[in-house]
Every structure is written in C-alpha cells, then in structure tokens.
Chains A and B, each alone.
Chain A
Amino acid sequence: MATGLNPSYFIALSAALFAIGLYGAISRKNAIAVLISIELMLTAVNINLVAFNKFLTPEAFIGQIFAIFVITVAAAEVGLGLAIVIAIYRNRKSVDLDDFDWMKW
C-alpha cells in the first residue's frame, strides 16, 4: 500500500472536516446552525473510526460498531437539541446563542 491510500489521508480529511465543524460551532449565531456544525464534527470522528477499522483491525469491526453507535447517539442528540432550541425559542423569541447567557454570575 505504499502508493495507495493510507490512514494519513483519512485523518487529514477528518481533521479538516472537524476543523470546519468547530469553526461553525464557535462562530455561528444561530443555535440550529451550531447543532449542524456539531453533526459535522461527529461525522469527522466517524470517518476516523471507520478508517482505523479498515487499516488497523479489519477483522474485529470495532470501529464500524462504534460508528454505528455514534450515529445513533447523534440522532438522539439532534432530536433533543432541536426540542430544546424550540422550547427556548418559544420563551425568548430568539435562537441567537449569545442571547442565552442567563447562566452567568
């Protein structure tokens, strides 16, 4: 596999996707956009898991199993996250995260 694909490519891809997601999560105003960005970060992690599964432990399938669990939990997280955003929106008429700062001193 000297010339073919090696884990570095996938890690680089994953890192790039993670970085993009992180940028979104930190810099977007809209709460739903932040949720989307978090999904991007989770997907980046999944790429890592599946890639390591292929290159390091192909027989064991641990990486793929983990990816499936991550997808499951992510689905649950999106559901709850959206519910919270909607509930807050009802009360505050806003989805800007910077307005949600009442958990401070």
Chain B
Amino acid sequence: MENIYSFIAFILLSGMVLGSALLVVTLKNLVHSVLWLIVTFVGVAGIFLLLNADFVAAVQVLVYAGAVCIMIAFGVMLVQRIDMANSNSVNWRFKIAAPLVGGLFIVIGLLTARAQWVAAGQEVPEKTVQNLAPILMQDFLIPFEVAAILLTVALTGALVLVKEVKANGDRS
C-alpha cells in the first residue's frame, strides 16, 4: 500500500515541479518567474523527502527556496527598474531550443527505458542526519572545508564586483 501512496505523491510532486518549472522559463515577468522558482524548489524538496533524503530536503528548502531565490529577487530588483512586465522575453533561439530539449528528453527517456536496474535491496537508514554527519565530517572533511573557503571567496568576490566604481576608476 505504501507503494501506491508514494506513487501518488510522486505524480503530484512531479506535476508541481515540472509545471512550475515550465512557468519559470515561459513567463514574461521575471519576478513571477522567480516566485514560481520557489515553488519548483519546494516541490523538489518534496521529491527528496520521497527519496528518504530528509537532510538534503531541508537544505534544499533553506538554501534554494530561501536564500538563493531571495537573492535572485534582489538581483532582479537591482537591474530591472522599468518595464518589469516585459522583462523576460525570449530570443530567436527558442525555435531551435524547443525541439532540441524535446529530443534530449526523449533520448534520455529511451535510454532509461532500456536500462536494467540492479536494486540494492536495502533501504536508506531512517536517521539520515545521524548517518550523514560522520561521513561529511570525517571522510569528506577536506572537501567540506574547501567548500567553506569557496563560499567565502565567492561572497568576497561578489562584494568586490558590485562595488560602486567611480568615474576615475577608483573603487574605494
């Protein structure tokens, strides 16, 4: 019975994700796109829950749906002051891009259909965080720290980039 429920949940979540994603890339108003992006991310978080990845789901909501989307909204506000309604038009490439991505999807789908899966025969342990933490903090400690450095560098770099530049080229 659980299979049925999870299947139904999958269908609903997939619909939510794909529908909102389609809206993200088709709406003409960029702010609306960003709002629908939040919906997409929340839907993906649901998918993660369905896949027994509680912690990743939480991170997804916190980082993506929260921080990233708000940041993008701010970015939109900073660069798009007039004509917001028409801020997200498409260029000439969409005629080629649409069949291209369709074809890509079909190819992946066909390949997936041909694949034969070897099930692990195990379930993801219940307590994801307790299991994840030791791996992250022991085996992956160095990548973890590097990621921290990367974030610091990226934020500092972003600050430097957006700093007001005076006419004489002086950044201070």
Let me know if chains A and B touch directly in the complex, using CB atoms closer than 8 Å.
yes
| A interface footprint on B87-126 (CB within 8 Å = 1, 0 otherwise) | 1111101101110111011001100110101111011110
Contact, CB under 8 Å: B150 / A76: yes
Query: In whole angstroms, how far apart are the Cα atoms of A19 and B120 in the complex?
Result: 28
Query: In whole angstroms, how far apart are the Cα atoms of A29 and B156 in the complex?
Result: 28
Q: Contact check: which of A10, A75, A86 meets B151 at CB < 8 Å?
A: A75
Q: How far is the CB of B158 from chain A (nearest CB, A)?
A: 4
Query: In whole angstroms, how far apart are the Cα atoms of A79 and B37 in the complex?
Result: 16
Interfacial chain A residues near B109, Cβ < 8 Å: 12, 15
Query: In whole angstroms, how far apart are the Cα atoms of A59 and B158 in the complex?
Result: 38
Contact, CB under 8 Å: B102 / A65: no
Contact, CB under 8 Å: A32 / B89: no
Task: Give chain B's interface residues, CB within 8 Å of chain A.
Answer: 2-3, 6-7, 10, 14, 17-18, 21-22, 24-25, 30, 33-34, 37, 40-41, 44, 47-48, 50-53, 55-56, 59-60, 63-64, 67-68, 71-72, 74-76, 78-80, 87-91, 93-94, 96-98, 100-102, 104-105, 108-109, 112-113, 115, 117-120, 122-125, 128, 131-132, 135-136, 140, 143, 147, 150-151, 154-155, 157-159, 161-162, 165
Contacts A5-B10, A26-B100 known; 6 new A-B pairs at CB < 8 A: A20-B18, A26-B101, A39-B37, A59-B125, A76-B154, A84-B161
A-B contact pairs, 17 of them (CB 8 A): A17-B17, A20-B21, A23-B25, A23-B97, A26-B93, A27-B97, A50-B51, A53-B51, A56-B120, A64-B53, A69-B147, A71-B60, A72-B63, A72-B147, A83-B158, A85-B75, A87-B162
Task: Give chain A's interface residues, CB within 8 Å of chain B.
Answer: 1, 3-13, 15-24, 26-30, 32-33, 35-37, 39-40, 43, 46-47, 50-51, 53-61, 64-65, 67-69, 71-80, 82-87, 89-90, 95, 98
